[in-house]
Amino acid sequence: MDDDQLDAIFQALSNPTRRALIEELATGPANVTELAEPHDMSLAAVSKHLQVLADAGLIEVEQDGRVRQCHLEAAPLSVAFSWLTQYRVFWEDRLDALADHLEHETND
């Protein structure tokens, strides 16, 4: 995955409404009307959020007549998680080193 794609994923996930839509789609496919119901916004506004998610590759939207069915695409989330995991390991190592240092100082 290139940097532009990773940037698009994190930008898409930076919005709480889009994160909520991802959570809803994690339970299974839904159409735009179903996704809009729990949110206090118009269908057009929800559609714009869904477009951002689709552009980032996080969801796929299929047109069936007048109904647009959405489903989650997990692969990009997995790539983003892998990228984050390498920094989690880094910070865990740093915090472990700090704990060791502080423990050593209190024992002196």
How many distinct structural domains can be found in the chain? 1
What's the average model confidence in pLDDT over 32-55? 95
For the stretch 12-30, pLDDT in tens is 999 999 999 999 999 999 9
Angle at 92 between CA 7 and CA 87, to 5 degrees: 15
Angle at 90 between CA 85 and CA 93, to 5 degrees: 125
- pTM of the entire predicted model: 0.78
The token pair at 42 is: 């118009």
Q: Residue 101 has what pLDDT? A: 87
For the stretch 52-91, pLDDT in tens is 999 999 999 999 899 999 999 988 988 888 888 888 888 8
Q: Domain holding 18: CATH number?
A: 1.10.10.10
Residue 97 neighbours by CB distance under 10 Å: 10
Q: Residue 1 has what pLDDT? A: 60
35 pLDDT above the threshold of 70: yes
Which range marks the domain in which residue 97 is found? 3-107
Q: What whole-number distance in Å separates Cα of residue 13 and Cα of residue 77?
A: 10
Distances (CA, A) of 60 to 18, 65, 75, 102: 14, 16, 12, 49
In the sheet with 67-72, reading across from the earlier edge strand, the strands are 30-31, 67-72, 59-64
